[in-house]
Amino acid sequence: MIEVEDVYFTYPNGIESLKGISLKIEDGEFVAIMGQNGAGKTTLVKHFNGLLKPTRGRVLIDGVDTRHVSVAMLSRKVGFVFQNPDHQLFSETVEDEISFALKNFSFPEKVILERVEWALNLLDLKEYRKTSPFMLSGGERKRVALASVLAWDPKILILDEPTIGQDSYQKERLRQFVIQMNQQGKTVIIVTHDIEFVAECEPRVILMANGKIIADGEAKQILTDIELINKSSLILPEITQVFMRLNDFGFPRNVISVYEAKRLILEKLFGGIGK
C-alpha cells in the first residue's frame, strides 16, 4: 500500500510543487494521475520510490517511511519508468540494460538469464538484444526501459507519460499490457495528460492542479465532469464529446470508451446484433 500523508514539497529554487497531498493507493490498484504540465504529477510519484523526500509530511510504502530508506531498497518494490528513456538507459546493449538491475540486486545467474529472456520476449525485443539502446527508435527505447524495470518483478509499476511518441497501434498494445500487469496483481500507476488513453483504460483517476488533488474517483465520473476537466486544463475525451451531443437521441452522456460506444450504438441500431 502507498500512503501519502499531508505531503508538501518545495524545490531548491523555492517552487512549491506539492501542497498538502494526502491519498492511499491499495495493493493491486490501477491508477492514473492526471493534470496539466506543472500540476505536480511527476513530483508526486517520485516520492513513491524515494527519488524525492517530502519537505513536510510523509510517504509510506507498505508501512515503511521513505525518508528512512534508500532509493535502492524502495526500488525492489517500486519500479519507475521515466518519461524520457534516455534518462534511464546507459548500458552498451539491450541485454546488458535489462540484466543490470538484476545483477545489482544480487539475483542468481540462472534467474538473471531467465528474467532477461522473459523480458525480451514480453516486449518483442529479442532481435535487439545485442544492439545499443541508443540505436533504437524512441518507442523501442521506451520498451527497453520498461523491460529493464519489469525484469526484477517490482510489486508497484510507475509509468511516467508512457504514450508520448507512441502511435495508435503502440498505444493499444500498451493499454493491453498495463491491464494485463494489473490483472496479475501489480499496482500500476500511470502519470499522463493523455485523456484518450486513460478513457480506454478506465482506471481510478486522481486529478491534480497547482500541486493539489482536485478530484479522485472512477474514470467515468471524473472524465465526464466538464467543470473538473476545464479546471485541470484538459479536454473531454472525443467519445464523450460525441455522446453528449447524442444525448437528445437517447444515448447516455457519460461514455468515455470506444468499446462502450460501439456496444451502445449497435444496441440502438440492431438491438445488440453483431456486438
Digit-coded pLDDT (tens) for 104-116: 888 999 999 999 9
Q: Which residue has the higher pLDDT, 273 or 75?
A: 75
Q: How far apart are CA 153 and CA 119, in angstroms?
A: 10
Q: How much of the chain, in percent, has pLDDT values that exceed 90?
A: 68
Quote the cell numbers at residue 215. Answer: 478530484
- Contact assessment for residue 255 and residue 264, using Cβ atoms and an 8 Å cutoff: yes
Domain positions in the chain: 2-232, 237-275
How far, in Å, CA of 119 to CA of 129, rounded?
Answer: 11
Q: What is the pLDDT of residue 274?
A: 47
pLDDT class for 275, splitting at 50, 70, 90? Answer: very low
Topology at the third CATH level for domain 2-232: Rossmann fold (3.40.50)
State the DSSP code for 253: S
Residue 83: what pLDDT?
A: 87
With cell 545483477, the residue in question is 103
Pick the most confident of 24-28, 158-162, 260-264: 24-28
Using CB atoms within 10 Å of the CB of residue 248, give its burial: 0 to 12 exposed, 13 to 18 middle, 19+ buried. Answer: exposed
Among 221, 222, 255, which Cα is nearest to 267's? 255
Contact 98, 126 (CB under 8 A): no
Confidence class of residue 89 from pLDDT cuts 50, 70 and 90?
confident
What is the C-alpha to C-alpha distance for residues 261 and 267, in angstroms, rounded to an integer?
10
> Would you place residue 157 in the very low, low, confident or very high pLDDT band (cuts 50, 70, 90)?
very high
Quick one: average pLDDT of 179-189? 93
Q: Give per-residue pLDDT as tens, 206-236.
A: 999 999 999 999 999 999 999 999 998 899 9
pLDDT for position 272: 53
The set of residues, in sequence order, having a beta carbon less than 8 Å from that of 249 and lying 6+ positions away, is none
Structure confidence at residue 268 (pLDDT): 84
